[in-house]
Amino acid sequence: AQSVTQLGSHVSVSEGALVLLRCNYSSSVPPYLFWYVQYPNQGLQLLLKYTSAATLVKGINGFEAEFKKSETSFHLTKPSAHMSDAAEYFCAVSKGSGNTGKLIFGQGTTLQVKP
């Protein structure tokens, strides 16, 4: 069985500070891992994805994530937060090729950016 745990339902940072959103996964097969962002009253937008290639994945809007198999983690980072980064972020896992649409999502982390 697969699962995703996002540590911290709310994270608050100051504008310009480092953003770190934590995600740990559990999977019996090599996983595909994703980070999505959801702005208020909107659908989900893909930030980045890991599909068994490079372990350091760069995404849109300056975000990146590193796949660490030994730690079963896929934490999302951004060096300098912008006000526009305030949103809800979801980590998700799938069983890999052929099952990409069947995602298991974490509970989400709301990112607040303070001026």
Which parts of this chain interact with other proteins (CB under 8 A)? Answer: 32, 34, 36, 41-46, 49, 51, 90, 92, 97-98, 100-103, 105-108
Nearer to other proteins, 43 or 115 (CB): 43
Q: What's the closest the beta carbon of residue 100 comes to other proteins, in angstroms?
A: 5
10 Å CB burial of residue 35 (0-12, 13-18, 19+) is buried
Nearer to other proteins, 28 or 41 (CB): 41
Q: What's the closest the beta carbon of residue 7 comes to other proteins, in angstroms?
A: 14
Q: What's the closest the beta carbon of residue 51 comes to other proteins, in angstroms?
A: 5
Q: How many CB atoms lie within 10 A of CB 36?
A: 21
Q: What's the closest the beta carbon of residue 45 comes to other proteins, in angstroms?
A: 8
Residue 103, both tokens: 């995602």
d(CA 70, CA 4): 16
Residue 53, SS3 per DSSP:
coil
Nearer to other proteins, 72 or 110 (CB): 110
Nearer to other proteins, 98 or 115 (CB): 98
Q: Are 111 and 89 in contact (CB under 8 A)?
A: yes
Which of 74, 69, 87 lies closest to 48, judged by CA?
Answer: 74
